[in-house]
Chains A and B, each alone.
Chain A
């Protein structure tokens, strides 16, 4: 374990973590743009949050700083709160218009 710094750089260089997070984030953006089901768009947002979390954890490990991991923890808390309220809103929408198609929700569109 005394040579763990070399081990971490051996697992993968930092740019591979950045690339992986960028790909996951872009997949999330693609999901939001591509789908019309509100729940799947919501899942894509979760995917984007996880890409950010992974990148924060990678930077935290590479800089030997615990603050990054604490921030990942806080992002998880906010994601949990967001999912609770968001799914409640989706249930409410379904109850009112009997659909979760995003194109039905165009009342605020000008």
Chain B
């Protein structure tokens, strides 16, 4: 059952990803990307990483994609007026991405010997365990990332402001 779920979610993620880069309308691309994100959240749940699944849905589907959609609406881009690249460039892009995929597939060699470590800790994906690790071992990166978010907010406001007087 879970195995079937894994392949189903993989199929959904890959086909939605394919639709993201082939859809003519940017709004459709955003909606397909949201489907892909939900499939990846399902993968997190299958990996016993509940905290990541929830944060993934809240941050990506809830915040980032809404930001994308609002920018598309703001710029009135919901029509397919994108000029296509020439066929030679398209062929070159497909060949380059395919070669990259072949290169990545080379890393598969030898991984069949990797199995889940024993003893397996099924608590690591829970909020309690992750919170303890985050606030003990990774406290400084956590605070720095708070500063990063603050500077991103200020940077975004400064960038889109018309006249900085």
Consensus secondary structure, chain A interface:
helix
- B141 contacts A83, C-beta separation under 8 Å: no
Q: Are A24's CB and B14's CB within 8 A? A: yes
**Looking at the complex, which one of B17, B74, B82, B130 makes contact with A69 (CB distance below 8 Å)?**
B130
Bound complex: CA A74 to CA B117 (Å): 24
A13 CA / B111 CA spacing, docked (Å): 9
Are B159's CB and A85's CB within 8 A? yes
In the complex, per-residue mask of B95-138: 1 if CB is within 8 Å of any chain A CB, else 0: 01110110011011001101111111110110001100110011
CB-based contact A70/B47 at 8 Å = no
Residue contact A47 to B48, C-beta cutoff 8 Å: no
Q: Is the CB of B6 within 8 A of A12?
A: yes
Are the CB atoms of A85 and B10 closer together than 8 Å?
A: no
Instruction: Report the bound CA distance from A49 to B30 in whole Å.
Output: 16
User: What range describes how many residues of A lie at the interface?
Assistant: 35 or more
A87 to chain B: which residues have CB within 8 Å?
67-68, 71, 156
Q: A18-B111, A78-B145, A78-B148 are in contact. Are A30 and B21 (CB under 8 A)?
A: yes
Given A73-B52, A77-B149, A91-B71, A47 and B47 touching (CB < 8 A)?
no
Residues of B within 8 A of A (CB): 2-3, 5-7, 10, 13-14, 17-18, 20-21, 26, 29-30, 33, 36-37, 40, 43-44, 46-49, 51-52, 55-56, 59-60, 63-64, 67-68, 71-72, 74-75, 77, 82-85, 90, 92-94, 96-98, 100-101, 104-105, 107-108, 111-112, 114-122, 124-125, 129-130, 133-134, 137-138, 141, 145, 148-149, 151-153, 155-157, 159-160
